[in-house]
Structure 1
C-alpha cells in the first residue's frame, strides 16, 4: 500500500497509532488542531531541522527506522546542547505519492523510539505530497529552572570538552560512499547517532560556559562558539583516541582519520567549555582550551595544535 492509496488521513491515522504513550509534559496529543505541551519552567526551548532525501539520507543506505532515529536526534541534540530537557517533537512528512505506507510507519517507529530515550514524545505535525521525500522536525524542551547554556559564554582559560562519539558518522558516510558496508560500528554510526542527551543538563548544572552539538563538524561548530564568545579555541590532536575500526577504514580508503574527527559531522556529540577548575566526569574528554582571540590568527577562530587546520573545509555547509 502506498501513501496515495491510504490517503492523507489514513496515513496520519497509521502513523499516530505508532507514536507510543504520551509523556507527562503532553497535556493534549495528536488529533486536534494543535497539541498542548506543559512548560513548567515558563520558557520553551525550540529547534527545527529538515532531512531531505539525497542530501541527508539515502533509502538504499538506511532503513526508514534509521531515518526516524536520525531526524529526531538532530533536533533533540539541539535541545540538550542548551542544557534543557526535551519534551516534545512535531514532525512534517512530505512524501511522493508512491511511497510505501510501511516506510512511513517505520519512520514513525524510529522517531518515537529516539524521542523516548529523552522522555519526549511526538505530539503532532503535518503531511504533504512532494516529489522529494523530506522530514522536518521541531523539538521543544524545558530548562527546569536553569539558565540556557548559550554559545557566547566561553572565556579564555576555559577547557574544551566533548561528550559522545566523534568522527564515527563521517567515517561511516565515507565507507558507504565508496560502496562498502563495513566496519559495522562506523556504518551504523552514520545511520543512527548515539547522543548523550542527559549530559546536556549535567553540563549546565556543572557550570558549562558554552555548549553546542556537533552536527556540521567539530571545527566548524566550535567556530560558532569562538565567534559568538569573541575568543579563540585551540584543540589538541593527540587528545583524540582513534578506535581500531576507524584506523583500519582510514587505511583502506587512503584518508586521514583526523579529518573525520575534526571536520566530520552527524554524530551529534556535545562540545562544551568549562571553567578550568571544573571536575569533569569520565563522560567528558578534554580536547583543548579557550584562548585569547589574538592567539588564533587564521581560520575561523579554531586552531589545532596552535596552527590552522590544513585538511580542507572545517565542516559541512549546505550551500557550498
Structure 2
C-alpha cells in the first residue's frame, strides 16, 4: 500500500512526494520521449526533424505583487517566464503561450487586463506568439500558463541523465531574488525609496535565460538541464538522483550583486542566499568533452554562463571550499503544500536562519 492509498494528504506528502508516487503508475505513451517527470514534455513527431515540446504551469502570485511593490502585469510576465524557462531548460524553443485566469467576480477588470497585457508584452519581447487564453470565475485568484514549442529530434534535455565527468554550468547569477527580498524587508523596511528601486525592479521582472539557453541548445552542448526557479538545491538533488555525486565549487558560484550587497548589509551568509530560488537560472550537465568549448562561447558572446561544479562517482550533493573542505548540503526547496517562495515568509525564514552547508 502506498502513502496515497493509505489516505495521506498532500501537505504531508508535498508536491514532489505526491508526484514521485504517481508518475510511476501512469501509462507512458511511446511517443512521449523520456516519459514523465522532466521540466517539459516532448512528443515525437514522425518524419520530422523536430519534436513537439510543451509545458503547463501555474504562475505563482509574485512576491513583489503581494508586497505592493509591483502591478498585476508582473503576474502575466511570470506566467510566460515560468513556462518558457522550462522549455528552454529542456532544449526547446518556445513558440506560443496561452494563459488561463481564474478570479473572483469582485476582482477589478483593470487588474485582469494588466495580467493579460503583461503576458502579451513578455511574449512579444522574446519573439513568442501570445495566443490568448481563458478567463473564469473562482473563489481565489490564479493564473495558469501553457507553452508549446519545438525541439530538435535529438536535442531533448531530460533531468535525470547526469554522468560522472560532466561539468555543471549555471546560466545566470544566483541569490539576487533572496538578496532583493531581504534588502527590501530588512534594510528599506518595505518602503519604495529611491535606493530600493533596483531591488524592486529585480523582484518585479521574472526573466528566463533566453540568450544563454539559446546558445547551449543551438550547440547541443548539454546532456541534461533543469530550471532552477525553485532553487539550486532542488536541481542538484535531482541531478544526483541519477546515482551520481554532485560537487559544487563554492569559489565558482556566480553571486548576483544584490546577493553580495545583502550579505554585507545583513547577517545572512551568501551560502544561504544562493539557495533562495526565484532567479530563473538554468543548470546544465555538460560532458567534459564539450565543457571548454562552451566556456569559450560564453566568454566570446558575453553570456552569463558559469562552470560551478562537476559530477563524479558516488552519491549525494556536496559543496567544496577553496581549501578542499567538503560540506554536505541540506535544506528546504520551494515545494507546494510545504514551503512556497510565493508565501515569502515561510520559505524565506529557512533561507535566513537555516545553515544549508553541514
Q: Indicate conservation of the 8 Å contact 1:92/1:135, yes or no.
A: yes
Q: Output aligned runs, 1:102-121, within 5 Å.
A: 102-121=110-129
Report the counterpart of residue 71 of structure 1 in structure 2. Answer: 79
Deviation for aligned residue 1:241: 4.2
**1:49–1:131 Cα change, 3 Å:** same
* Structure 2: runs of 5+ lacking an equivalent: 1-44, 321-325, 339-358
Question: Are 1:225 and 2:239 matched, yes or no?
Answer: yes
Cα deviation code 1:218-254 (max 9, x no counterpart):
1212211221x32121001111244544323223332
Deviation for aligned residue 1:118: 3.2
- Out of 335, 340, 346, which is 1:317 matched to? 335
Deviation for aligned residue 1:188: 2.1
Question: Are 1:61 and 2:63 matched, yes or no?
Answer: no
Aligned residues: 272
Q: Normalization by structure 2: what TM-score?
A: 0.69
Query: Aligned partners of 1:247, 1:73: CA distance in 2, in Å?
Result: 25
Q: Secondary structure at the match of 2:160?
A: helix
Q: Output aligned runs, 1:1-320, within 5 Å.
A: 43-53=51-61, 57-58=65-66, 60-178=68-186, 179-180=189-190, 181=192, 183-204=196-217, 205-227=219-241, 229-261=242-274, 263-278=275-290, 279-280=293-294, 281-282=298-299, 283=303, 284-292=305-313, 294=314, 296=315, 301-305=316-320, 306-309=326-329, 312-313=331-332, 315-320=333-338
Q: Normalization by structure 1: what TM-score?
A: 0.77
Q: Indicate conservation of the 8 Å contact 1:80/1:199, yes or no.
A: no
Runs of 4 or more off by more than 6 Å in structure 1? none
Q: Indicate conservation of the 8 Å contact 1:164/1:195, yes or no.
A: no
Please provide the CA RMSD for this pair. 2.4
Q: Indicate conservation of the 8 Å contact 1:172/1:188, yes or no.
A: no
**1:218–1:139 Cα change, 3 Å:** same
* Structure 1: runs of 5+ lacking an equivalent: 1-38
